[in-house]
Amino acid sequence: MTTILAARHLLRLAFRCDPGRLARAAAMLAAGFLSTPLIALCLKSLTTAAVNHDSGTAARLALTTAALLVFELMMNHFAHLSYFELGDLSEVELQNELITLAHGVGNLERLDTPAYADTLALVREELPRTRASLEAVLQLGGLVLQMVLTAVLLGSLNTWLLLLPIAGAIPVLAGNRAQRLVDRAKEETAALTRLGRHLLETTTTLASVKEIRLSGAEAMLIERHQRDWATTTTALRRAQTGAALLRAAGQLTFAAAYGGAIYLVVRQALQGGSGLGDVILVIALAAQISFQVSNGLGLLTIVQTAGGTMERIRTLRTAAASPAPAGPGSAHLPAVLTRGIRLDHVSFHYPNSDRKILDDVTLDIPAGTALAVVGENGAGKSTLVKLLCGLYRPTSGRILVDDVDLASAAPAEWQRRVSTLFQDFARLELRLRDNTGIGDLDRIDDDQALHQAIDRAEAGAVRALVPDGLDGLLGRGYGDGTELSGGQWQKLGLARTLLRRGPLLVALDEPASALDATAEQALFERFADLVTETRADTGAVTVLVSHRFSTVRMADLIVVLEQGSVSEVGTHADLAASGGLYAELYHLQARAYA
Ligand SMILES: Nc1ncnc2c1ncn2[C@@H]1O[C@H](COP(=O)(O)OP(=O)(O)OP(=O)(O)O)[C@@H](O)[C@H]1O
């Protein structure tokens, strides 16, 4: 994206946020910037008056010069107050758009695409610079006005002097090219930078530090971290060196033109074509041009970097706006399940790999069924749940809800009818109310419903730990919230699941992985209640992924996944007697407990 497009985008954004403030900032900046060449003009007249011994005029001009200097400073100062807040508003607006781009894509497929994830990570990192970018755009506008006035004053003395501002364009063009070099290097090293940040985060956050310390993997991770950073830094340093050389060449060219301009006007004065005042005017203006060019270069670099960010946001927007593989249709989902959910020859691979994770899965889950999914690690259980929740679409095959193909319904419509607790459940370090309330946003302010869901999830003791109850903060993400254990967070995750009304699918992926034995027992009593309730209410299907066979056996139907394919389906009694993988795993676990 060119600098002009970036500037236009930032100005539009600022205009949307607060047009009045933008107009005030622009007017004050323009007034401040225009007063600089006028100071040079005053100095010229002051010199002429002094040479002519006109002390009255000289004194008046000296005062005017001082007043202009103060005016210039004041205008810049007050403009800064206006655009400071405007920059913040614009950044928040872009942050909101980024959140939409990360979540508003209907499914997770794009986030799994490395290019999309890298671009998103880069933009997230660059957003805090929005304020400086907007400031740079406004100042560049003022600078352009200032340069035009400077050019008019120079041209009125000698048309050759007009070449001076033109020579000023050379370092600008060189700067443009230099920035492109740096941007390209940044994009090429984005994946490694992301990995570096991940390693830094992993090695410095409490949760993982414990494990790393005990495993002794510290040295290995530090070595890996250093190696990756060294590769990234080398590539960036090479690009920065090339960029610095280009910028220096441009500035040297301007320096030569600057010297030529002074020579020209001094020669003109010696030949009697102009006075001492004109020489002073040119020296002052040339010095201003030198400052304008170097200032302009710095500002341009900032706007060009913002251009990179805007371009990346545009790429994200285009990707998010492009239709998903089989564009969502407008088919309506039933209010109540009568037949159930059917997977019809479903195969799936993640967008970032060709490896089939699910292979030709066909499965009928009648309405009201409690289905358990078992299988070894990596068999594809969580992936199956994610597909059922509509977070991903099958690469081939269909998922039918009664007779409606999920691909022909809007993902959001289905996701409103799904209640889930994922294995990697979210730990929202916000208020207890938010943490639970996002399970059913319409009820986030319904204290009674929130308390009920928390009680049903056996999380009453967690609530008692939070000093301000529903409005108390959780975690140490910001503020001084209550830190919770893994199991306590998981119970709150379950409370979210239980808050949702009228689901057609309840999916619990290893919901007891962090719970103690008593909590697990209580959870499965709740699970049984939930199945009975939702079955009567909406005919919902309940899917439970678990490695605990004591719980799995309660399910109406059990499906065994082996390397992405269904190897066994049936009731506990059928499968335990069949002598297959289920029977083997079940007896293995039963023996361990015996
Ligand atoms: N976002 C992803 N991108 C690429 N591959 C993935 C992604 N998520 C999971 N996989 C791969 O898919 C395979 C199945 O993962 P899945 O989480 O579905 O297994 P699972 O049966 O739930 O395992 P577990 O019992 O360990 O939870 C794994 O080999 C995993 O590496």
Q: Are residues 489 and 570 in the same domain?
A: no
Residue 559 domain-assigned (yes or no): yes
Q: Are residues 495 and 556 in the same domain?
A: no
User: How far apart are alpha carbons 424 and 437 in whole angstroms?
Assistant: 18
Which uninterrupted H or E stretch holds 4? helix 3-17
Is residue 349 predicted with pLDDT exceeding 80? yes
Ligand 1 proximity of 379 Cβ (cutoff 6 Å):
yes
Last residue of a domain, one of 298, 320, 342: 320
Residue 328 domain-assigned (yes or no): no
> Which residue has its alpha carbon closest to ligand 1 atom 18?
380
Residue 22 domain-assigned (yes or no): yes
pLDDT in tens, 45-95: 998 898 888 888 999 999 999 999 999 899 988 888 888 888 888 888 888
Tell me the residue ranges of DSSP E strands in 41-92.
none
Ligand 1 proximity of 107 Cβ (cutoff 6 Å):
no
Q: Provide the pLDDT for residue 592.
A: 67
Ligand 1 proximity of 546 Cβ (cutoff 6 Å):
no
CATH of the domain at 36: 1.20.1560.10
Ligand 1 proximity of 382 Cβ (cutoff 6 Å):
yes
Neighbours of 355 (CB within 10 A): 8
Residue 329 domain-assigned (yes or no): no
Has the ipTM of the complex gone over 0.90? Answer: yes
Q: Provide the pLDDT for residue 71.
A: 92
Q: Are residues 394 and 480 in the same domain?
A: no
Spell out a b/e string for 200-237, using b for 16 or more CB atoms within 10 Å of the CB, else e. eebbeeeeeeeebeeeeeeeebeeebeebbeebeebbe
pLDDT in tens, 232-286: 889 899 999 999 999 999 889 888 888 888 888 888 888 877 778 888 888 888 8
Q: Are residues 166 and 265 in the same domain?
A: yes
Domain span at 483: 426-501
> Which residue has its alpha carbon closest to ligand 1 atom 24?
377
Residue 327 domain-assigned (yes or no): no
Query: How do strand 404-405 and strand 396-401 relate by DSSP bridges?
Result: antiparallel
Ligand 1 proximity of 387 Cβ (cutoff 6 Å):
no
Query: Phi/psi of residue 505, each to 5°?
Result: -135, 130
Neighbours of 286 (CB within 10 A): 22
CATH of the domain at 581: 3.40.50.300
Closest of 542, 332, 535 to residue 420, by C-alpha: 542
- Measured from the Cα of 510, ligand 1's closest atom is 27
Mutate to test the pocket of ligand 1, among 357, 361, 377 (most ligand atoms within 8 A of CB): 357
Ligand 1 proximity of 375 Cβ (cutoff 6 Å):
yes
Q: Are residues 254 and 372 in the same domain?
A: no
How does DSSP assign 330-348, residue by residue? -PPPPSS-SSEEEEEEEEE
Q: Are residues 594 and 487 in the same domain?
A: no
Q: Are residues 231 and 249 in the same domain?
A: yes
Q: Are residues 488 and 508 in the same domain?
A: no
Residue 19 domain-assigned (yes or no): yes
**Å from CA of 354 to ligand 1 middle:** 13
Q: Are residues 18 and 40 in the same domain?
A: yes
The total of structural domains in the chain comes to: 3
Last residue of a domain, one of 292, 320, 348: 320
Q: Are residues 386 and 487 in the same domain?
A: no
Q: Tell me what the mean pLDDT of segment 337-353 comes to.
A: 90
The better pLDDT of the pair 206, 491 is held by: 491
CA dihedral in degrees (566, 572, 578, 579; nearest 10)? 90
Ligand 1 proximity of 350 Cβ (cutoff 6 Å):
yes
Closest of 265, 272, 271, 194 to residue 228, by C-alpha: 194
Q: Are residues 135 and 282 in the same domain?
A: yes
pTM of the model: 0.65
**Å from CA of 182 to ligand 1 middle:** 37
Tokens 């492109």 found at: 180
pLDDT in tens, 24-47: 999 999 999 999 899 999 998 998
**Å from CA of 357 to ligand 1 middle:** 8
Q: Are residues 134 and 74 in the same domain?
A: yes
Ligand 1 proximity of 114 Cβ (cutoff 6 Å):
no
Residue 390 domain-assigned (yes or no): yes
Last residue of a domain, one of 451, 484, 501: 501
Mutate to test the pocket of ligand 1, among 355, 381, 545 (most ligand atoms within 8 A of CB): 381
Residue 326 domain-assigned (yes or no): no
